[in-house]
Amino acid sequence: MNQPSAQAAPQRVVVITGASSGIGLETAKAFAALGWHVIGQGRDAERSAKAAAAIKAAAAQGCKVHFLRANLSLMAETKQLADEIKGLTDRIDVLINNAGGVRDQRYVTSEGTEETFSANHLAPFLLTRELMPVLETAAAESEPGAVRVLAVSSMAYLQPQHGLNWVDLQRLEGEFPAGAAYCEVKLANQLFNVELARRVAGKGIVSQALVPGPVATNFFKHGDETMQAYEKTAQTLTPQEVAETLVWMATAPETGKDGGRMFYQMAEHTVQPHGKDPVAAERLWNESEILLASMGY
């Protein structure tokens, strides 16, 4: 008698930004080794080519790996990246908004945005919004909480206890304290996490954030002298250790509920009050929508 063949479970799909280096690269390798379809993004041509080869080399048999390039300081390239990703898959199980970092001074993009703000906050905001339909497709076919959006924030979010610089969110005017701008944008990552978690909970999607701690990557090389001096004294984790926490955050039952939380080294981090202020989280969301709309997105 012919038995109907069991429906094979769809290959799970993870999108990881900033996969050409550091935390993102090690996380992409870890997911590829687990047999996921990995879609990575990088910016630098040489690092991206090397990373794509390393992820493919780490991949389990039959696992698909795609690697795309985009400068996420630019919303035009962020939107194009989203379109390219949607051309590769009709479902996304996990989106990891990891790309970003600190700068040594103010750089204003050709779109008129400040780079620290646009790469670390506006790009993940736009990318998540553009990819929401394919995250929802995966959520409709999965257990509640299986589909997740993860933000790579930082302990730097602890610094601006006064909250964000609402009068000039991007710090386009006056002095540019590069370290302070970075701390504020990492608070923005967490506030985005809080508001996103609230908005997608009803769809069975969970949003969480990572605070990696100091990690031995290319991160510090992009910063000013203070940042580079800090690297010499900091007790750093390896990117592999941080990737382990991200895989756990993406797959474990305990991290797949009660969104808006933060995690550090395989454990929950207690979010400080300014990192879970619902008024600030909603205001950031609205201001980001207004800014993107003014840019045509």
Ligand X SMILES: NC(=O)c1ccc[n+]([C@@H]2O[C@H](COP(=O)([O-])OP(=O)(O)OC[C@H]3O[C@@H](n4cnc5c(N)ncnc54)[C@H](OP(=O)(O)O)[C@@H]3O)[C@@H](O)[C@H]2O)c1
DSSP type of residue 68: E
Q: Measured from the CB of residue 109, what is the shortest distance to ligand X in angstroms? A: 9
| Dist CA 170 CA 164 (whole Å) | 10
| Dist CA 171 CA 164 (whole Å) | 10
Residues 169-208 close enough to bind ligand X by CB under 6 A:
none
Cβ count near 83 (within 10 Å): 10
| Dist CA 130 CA 181 (whole Å) | 26
Q: Measured from the CB of residue 213, what is the shortest distance to ligand X in angstroms? A: 6
Q: Measured from the CB of residue 143, what is the shortest distance to ligand X in angstroms? A: 29
DSSP type of residue 295: T
Identify which range of 15-23, 138-146, 201-209, 273-281 contacts ligand X by CB under 6 A: 15-23
Binding status of residue 27 toward ligand X by CB under 6 A: no
Binding status of residue 101 toward ligand X by CB under 6 A: yes
Whether the Cβ atoms of residue 94 and residue 148 lie closer than 8 Å to each other: yes
Residue of 128, 217, 255, 288 interacting with ligand X (CB under 6 A): 217
Go through the chain and tell me how many residues it has: 297
Whether the Cβ atoms of residue 105 and residue 275 lie closer than 8 Å to each other: no
Whether the Cβ atoms of residue 51 and residue 25 lie closer than 8 Å to each other: yes
The binding track of 135-154 with respect to ligand X, each residue x by CB under 6 A or -, is -----------------x-x
Alpha carbon distance, N-terminus to C-terminus of the chain = 56
Q: Measured from the CB of residue 184, what is the shortest distance to ligand X in angstroms? A: 12
Residue of 13, 14, 36, 42 interacting with ligand X (CB under 6 A): 42
Binding status of residue 24 toward ligand X by CB under 6 A: yes
DSSP for 8-26, please give it.
PPPPPEEEESSTTSHHHHH
DSSP type of residue 120: I
Q: Measured from the CB of residue 155, what is the shortest distance to ligand X in angstroms? A: 7
Identify which range of 41-49, 128-136, 246-254, 273-281 contacts ligand X by CB under 6 A: 41-49
Q: Measured from the CB of residue 128, what is the shortest distance to ligand X in angstroms? A: 14
SS3 state of residue 9:
coil
Q: Measured from the CB of residue 103, what is the shortest distance to ligand X in angstroms? A: 9
Binding status of residue 23 toward ligand X by CB under 6 A: yes
Binding status of residue 43 toward ligand X by CB under 6 A: yes
Beta bridge partners of 237: 215
Q: To 5 degrees, how large is the angle CA 95–CA 134–CA 212?
A: 5
The binding track of 53-92 with respect to ligand X, each residue x by CB under 6 A or -, is -----------------xxxx-------------------
Binding status of residue 22 toward ligand X by CB under 6 A: yes
| Dist CA 223 CA 209 (whole Å) | 22
**Where along the sequence are the contacts to ligand X (CB under 6 A)?**
18, 20-24, 42-44, 47-48, 70-73, 98-101, 119, 152, 154, 212, 214-215, 217-219
